[in-house]
Structure 1
Amino acid sequence: MLLMKDIIQEGDPVLRKRAQDVSLPLSETDLNTLRLMMEYIQNSQNETLVETYDLRPSVGLSAPQINLSQKLFCIHTVDETGKNLFSRAFVNPKILSYSEEKTYLPGGEGCLSVDESKNGLVPRSLRIKARAIEVDLETGATESVYLKLQGYLGIVFQHEYDHLRGVLFVDKVVEHLPGVVPVQFTENNNQ
């Protein structure tokens, strides 16, 4: 089980390196790494486990954050409607295109690898197209996927993808985003 002590913090050089491609077929070690990453995210969304293990809540986690410079990340969250669960593990993702139209999280972004007191508005593309190898964490089966993401899920994917390029959200924080419309969450889903 991963804990906060396993997540490296801003200032660690691994967070600033470009991650390496992961060899396929996926090794048992890499599969277990993805399973541990997903387990952390899911545990961090359980209030009892957050209190018991002093976890910070999360919706995504990338391998560089646990001191592995590999192109692996997991996302476990619902979209802005609060109705559609997006729980997926990715290997060697690549964003193919970014829309010119921007958006942002109205409350700003945060990160497990950055001090909680730091947050801010980060301009992100409203829509992205990406490809990746998706991993079924139960069976270990892999499949090449093409993704079209927008809004909140697109922001989360871009945030995790940045980790694989040695970029932290604090590198992109701006004071104001005039004319840019934030992601709109439904009332019962205030991320």
Structure 2
Amino acid sequence: MITMDDVIREGHPTLREIAEAITIPVPEEMKQLGEEMLQFLINSQDPEIAERHALRAGVGIAAPQVNVSKQLLAVHLPSQDEEDDEPEYSVIMVNPRIISHSVQQTCLPDGEGCLSVDREVEGFVPRHKRITVEYVDLNGHSHKERLRGFPAIVVQHEIDHLNGVMFYDRIDPENPLALPDGIDILGAN
């Protein structure tokens, strides 16, 4: 079981590497790691399990964050409807790449956080509002998905990890709370 002890923190060199592509068919150890990463996210969102194992809640994790420099990520977004047990979006992606994106940008109203960053970083993180991502699943099947809003933001954050980019690299260092022209704050009308 992955715990916070397995998650490397900012300053670790692996977080700045460009992750290697994974061979297809997906090797067993990568399948297992992908499943463990997804289970970590599910566990981190369960208050009882999270407290028992001192897990910080997360919605996405990339293999470099557990010190494996491979193109593998997991995302688990719980349903916004408390009556619904099905997640809004839950996926393990192998070798993901964004093949197209909107010109329009968006950002989260309270900025972004990261399991590998133990401090609060203030500032808006501009992201594409819509993306099309291609990836392979653990069984070696290819997928192409269009994502928008929060799922698109989370996937972009995790793909950044595969390219050695931290979310705060995207914040304007001169004026972190300045909104770029034409950007849309997610959830704002």
TM-score with structure 2 setting the length: 0.89
Q: Identify the match of residue 101 of structure 2 among 66, 90, 98.
A: 98
Confirm or deny that 1:108 pairs with 2:111.
Answer: yes
- Measured after TM superposition, the shift of residue 27 of structure 1 is 1.1
Aligned to 1:48: 48
- Measured after TM superposition, the shift of residue 142 of structure 1 is 2.8
Aligned to 1:37: 37
- Measured after TM superposition, the shift of residue 115 of structure 1 is 1.6
Residue aligned with 2:185, SS? coil
Distance 1:130 1:80 in 2: 23
Question: Would the aligned equivalents of 1:79 and 1:153 in 2 still touch at CA under 8 Å?
Answer: no
Query: Which 4+ runs in 1 deviate beyond 2 A?
Result: 78-84, 116-120
- Measured after TM superposition, the shift of residue 79 of structure 1 is 6.9
Question: Would the aligned equivalents of 2:80 and 2:88 in 1 still touch at CA under 8 Å?
Answer: no
- The alignment's C-alpha RMSD in Å is 1.8
Aligned to 1:67: 67
Deviation digits for residues 146-188 of structure 1, max 9, x if unmatched?
A: 1111111100010000000000001112322154221118xxx
% same residue: 39
Aligned to 1:10: 10
Mark the runs of 5 or more structure 1 residues left unpaired by the alignment: 136-140, 186-191
TM-score with structure 1 setting the length: 0.88
Deviation digits for residues 78-106 of structure 1, max 9, x if unmatched?
A: 47788762111000001112211010011
Distance 2:126 2:80 in 1: 17
Distance 1:183 1:81 in 2: 18
State the aligned residue count: 180
Mark the runs of 5 or more structure 2 residues left unpaired by the alignment: none
Distance 2:108 2:144 in 1: 24
